[in-house]
């Protein structure tokens, strides 16, 4: 994924202590702080509750259903 996204790739670890990576839970505030354009495409994957929360935040912040890809 990093090869495709290049400088737009942001890697977050929520429980590991990895030097050089942002370490915090992905929530609405993280999205606001790290995303300037909510009209871009988003790829969301993870546990069902995580996907539900993140897609809800994205829609609230202006992303459209056409731009949010959810891994099934």
Integer Rg of the chain from CA: 12
Helices (H), the chain: 2-5, 28-34, 48-60
pLDDT above 70 (res 11): no
Which pLDDT score is estimated for 21?
A: 64
Q: Which domain holds residue 30?
A: 2-70
Tell me the whole-structure pTM to 2 decimals.
0.76
User: What pLDDT shows up at residue 12?
Assistant: 65
- Specify the higher pLDDT residue, 47 or 23: 47
Instruction: Please give the C-alpha separations between residue 49 and each of 32, 37, 59, 66, in angstroms, as whole numbers.
Output: 20, 24, 15, 21
How far is Cα 54 from Cα 51, in angstroms, rounded to an integer?
A: 5
pLDDT reported for residue 6: 80
Residue with tokens 């942002």: 22
> What domain count does the chain have?
1
């Amino acid at each position: 994924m990093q090869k495709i996204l290049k400088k737009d790739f942001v890697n977050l670890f929520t429980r590991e202590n990895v030097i050089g990576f942002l370490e915090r839970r992905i929530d609405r505030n993280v999205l606001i702080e790290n995303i300037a354009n909510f009209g871009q495409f988003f790829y969301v994957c993870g546990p069902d509750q995580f996907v539900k929360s993140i897609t809800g935040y994205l829609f609230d912040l202006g992303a459209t259903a056409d731009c949010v890809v959810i891994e099934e």
